[in-house]
Structure 1
Amino acid sequence: MKVLHAVTLHTPTHDFGGPTRVALNLSRGLRARGVQAAVVALGDGFDGPLPREVDGVPARLYQARHVLPRFEVSGITSPALLADARRLVRSADVVHVHLMRDLVTLPLALIALRCGRPLVLQTHGMIDPTEKRVAQLVDVLGLRRVLKRADAVLHLTERERDDTRAVVAPEPMAPAYRLVNGVQPQPIKSPRTDGDPAAPTVLYVARVQERKRPQDFVAAVPTVLARYPDARFVLAGPDTGALAGDMLALARRLGVGHAVEYVGALDHADVLKRLRSADVYVLPSVVEPFAVSVLEAMSVGLPVVVTGTGGLAPDVAAAGAGRVVDSRPDADNGELVGRAILELLEPAANRAASRAAWELVRDEFTVDGVVETLHGIYERVIAEH
């Protein structure tokens, strides 16, 4: 079986985050099962030639052209990719498109329909009803067509499935299947211990952008420092929202600038190293469909603080893998986040949440389990196409 994964963008600093990581994880897992999986995407930010392999996965990358800069990632494309699209699509038994309203994945999905190839769409929570006029035009020009005519549409949560269906309503959407995100199992880290002399480290690893509420991470610092004056707060991830400077300025205004460090974007090995050396992971996003970064934190046994609007919140709460706090986009949530961090810095709570987080990923969210489900979907799609 030959599978082509199409995703919008890959950069050295992983600016596009979750969808690209998911595409690579799935492709690597499929290849381990003997499936010929590859990735096609735009590449940007590389000093030399674009790589032909990413994380062990064959990759066909095309230099990104910023034709509509005001739309950021939705406004990039490549004439060379579009010229090669029909050949790329026809070389695959299944075309798996990580779909968004853009000039890369949507054209590839439309071309797969025209070429009669089995088409699987995965929306990553990025497709829902909108009042934006340009997005509505994109829906009319092609998005609704691919959502109705695909062989399968994958969703992370029931909410995502319902939101995607609402885009094509009242007409029916293609068959829907649930596929969660998964990560590689990791050895469990050492939790905090009674009398631990090391300064506590609290970590945020995600894109620094408004939707992920890094300001709530920074605003939590005074609450934590009141009990742990030597605690360190590390903010990591690509600054796609141009907010990193604002976050450091906020820390200085709060009088805690000495405790907050921004380390920029990290490669995957460095992400895992940071996760293993931290005591609590925090992602206070307003909306987070199914954060890979939270799964990776839990995969090493790092307790997490997430918001109730995230797709993983029910799993975290049920397993005791961390703390779930309210998400109030119009309010300062720093004290809520800070109190949750303090609870998880208590050694007994940290040990319990660490073990629960590690077991949750091991039992429910490994790449192998996700890939097995996905392979079954592919086989069904090919048989029924």
Structure 2
Amino acid sequence: MKILHVIANLAPRYGGPAKAAMEMSEALAKLGHQVSIFTTDQDGPDRLDVPLGEPVLKNGVEITYFPIQKPGFWGTSLPMAVALKREIPKYDIVHLHALYLFHNLVAGYYSRKYKVPYIVCPHGTLDPFIYQRHRNRKRLMEVLFENRNFRNAAALHFITEEEMHLAKPVSFDQQGIVVPIGLDLTEFADMPDKGAFRARYPELKDKKIILFFGRLNFKKGLDLLIKSFRSVLQAHPDAMLVLTGPDNDQYGEQVRQWVREEHLTQHVLFTGMLTGKDKLAVLQDADLFVLPSYSENFGIAVIEALVCGTPVVVSDKVNIWREVVSHEAGLVCKCETASVAEQIVALLNDPGKREAMGSNGIEMVRKQYHWDHIGQSLESEYRHIIQTGEARNFLVKATSTP
């Protein structure tokens, strides 16, 4: 099959959707398909240092970057539009990532014009918390093109069953598939020595590390986490909150302000974004991982922590919370300060439970969230859509190891 993925940006700062689109494409290429990605060179206020308008081969995937243009918030790129018009007829299927962006308008239009089936992956944008943000602007885009995209898509691709149910009131009862995202487990095959991250920061000596790993972003519940941490310290004075991840839309300064207001400066460590071995080191050395998001379509960092043997505390707005509970790999809190603190303290109080949950988390990820099997699920869905013109209606794909 010739498969085209279209996404506004691939820079690491954009988190889950960019990472998912790239790794999804790599998994399909590994199965022998010709997979391409059209995207822009957008990297926040900067630009990626990449060739423009010509394919770059990465792990079997042809990536073509186009120049971002104003208005940047919309992912605008007229050169991308020209290329989509020319290239879409050459593909068997098109996979659109995210909503309300320039590439959705253009790729949706040309896919319909040239009768190429396309799938739309909302990446959580239909979650009620996110759906209501900038509602007037989104409503305009829905009238202009997004509603048409939805009604004419071969399928909507949901990452979790929870996402599918949350989206149902605004998805026109469109056909959908549920295929998760996952990890390349080879990335976790050669772990750094235990204690490598702690050794880098003397202030972490003899401390219990509570780790937040992700973008410093409005939806991540960082206000809840900072406010709850004072209660955590009362129960465990040896706790240290480590915030690892890139600043998103200058939100990091707001987080630092909350830390100062709560007089927690000596108890909170900002590391910035960590990748490669540094990322593995912090995930492995943490005593527990916490993500109290107001909205989280999947939470790739959650399964990264779990496969490193680190138990998690997640809010009931993180869409894989049911899986975390059913596998006894962590605890679930409400999006309330007291609830966040209560669940963190509960795990800190019980080293045996943390160890057991860590082991359960490793097993959960290895059985359900590895790209080899997920790639096969996507391949199967693509073939069915190409052959029949439609998806298996609201089919939840199993991804456990046979």
> TM-score, normalised on structure 2?
0.83
Q: Does 1:301 align with 2:300?
A: no
User: How many angstroms apart in 1 are the aligned matches of 2:385 and 2:16?
Assistant: 25
User: How many angstroms apart in 1 are the aligned matches of 2:370 and 2:353?
Assistant: 24
- Is the 8 Å Cα contact of residues 187 and 300 (structure 1) preserved in structure 2? no
Q: How far did 1:268 drift?
A: 5.2
Report the 3-state secondary structure (helix = DSSP H, G, I; strand = E; otherwise coil) of the residue aligned with 2:14.
coil
Q: 1:159 to 1:341 in 2, by over 3 A?
A: closer
Moved more, 245-254 or 134-143: 245-254
* Paired letter, 2:49: G
Report matched runs for 1:287-298 at 5 Å.
287-298=295-306
User: How many angstroms apart in 1 are the aligned matches of 2:124 and 2:180?
Assistant: 12
Alignment match of 1:25 (pick from 23, 26, 30)? 23
Report the 3-state secondary structure (helix = DSSP H, G, I; strand = E; otherwise coil) of the residue aligned with 2:37.
strand
Match of 2:163 in 1: 160
Match of 2:228 in 1: 220
- Is the 8 Å Cα contact of residues 50 and 65 (structure 2) preserved in structure 1? no
Q: How far did 1:276 drift?
A: 1.9
Q: 1:123 to 1:224 in 2, by over 3 A?
A: same
Moved more, 350-359 or 30-39: 30-39
Match of 2:369 in 1: 365
Alignment match of 1:140 (pick from 136, 139, 143)? 143
- Is the 8 Å Cα contact of residues 10 and 19 (structure 2) preserved in structure 1? no
Moved more, 369-378 or 267-276: 267-276
Q: How far did 1:187 drift?
A: 4.7
User: How many angstroms apart in 2 are the aligned matches of 1:246 and 1:267?
Assistant: 24
Q: How far did 1:253 drift?
A: 2.5
Report the 3-state secondary structure (helix = DSSP H, G, I; strand = E; otherwise coil) of the residue aligned with 1:15.
helix
RMSD: 2.6
CA displacement 1:217-267 (0-9 Å, x = unmatched): 222332333344343322122221422122223222222201212222333
Report matched runs for 1:102-181 at 5 Å.
102-127=101-126, 130=132, 132-167=135-170, 169=172, 172-173=173-174, 175-181=175-181
Match of 1:347 in 2: 351
Q: How far did 1:381 drift?
A: 0.9
Q: Does 1:39 align with 2:37?
A: yes
Match of 2:202 in 1: none
User: How many angstroms apart in 2 are the aligned matches of 1:157 and 1:100?
Assistant: 17
User: How many angstroms apart in 2 are the aligned matches of 1:249 and 1:110?
Assistant: 45
User: How many angstroms apart in 2 are the aligned matches of 1:245 and 1:38?
Assistant: 37
- Is the 8 Å Cα contact of residues 39 and 64 (structure 2) preserved in structure 1? yes
- Is the 8 Å Cα contact of residues 188 and 299 (structure 1) preserved in structure 2? no
User: How many angstroms apart in 2 are the aligned matches of 1:48 and 1:124?
Assistant: 26
Q: 1:47 to 1:112 in 2, by over 3 A?
A: closer
Report matched runs for 1:203-242 at 5 Å.
203-242=211-250
User: How many angstroms apart in 1 are the aligned matches of 2:167 and 2:258?
Assistant: 37
Moved more, 247-256 or 200-209: 247-256
Moved more, 154-163 or 48-57: 48-57
Q: 1:149 to 1:285 in 2, by over 3 A?
A: same
User: How many angstroms apart in 2 are the aligned matches of 1:321 and 1:280?
Assistant: 11
Report matched runs for 1:87-98 at 5 Å.
87-98=86-97
Match of 2:265 in 1: 257
User: How many angstroms apart in 1 are the aligned matches of 2:282 and 2:27?
Assistant: 24
CA displacement 1:54-99 (0-9 Å, x = unmatched): 56643111122231x6xx3xx2311111111122322322111113
Match of 1:3 in 2: 3
CA displacement 1:33-71 (0-9 Å, x = unmatched): 11122221112234633483556643111122231x6xx
Gaps of 5+ in 1: none
- Is the 8 Å Cα contact of residues 206 and 238 (structure 2) preserved in structure 1? no
> TM-score, normalised on structure 1?
0.87
CA displacement 1:159-213 (0-9 Å, x = unmatched): 53345443354xx52x211112211233597999xxxx84222211112122111
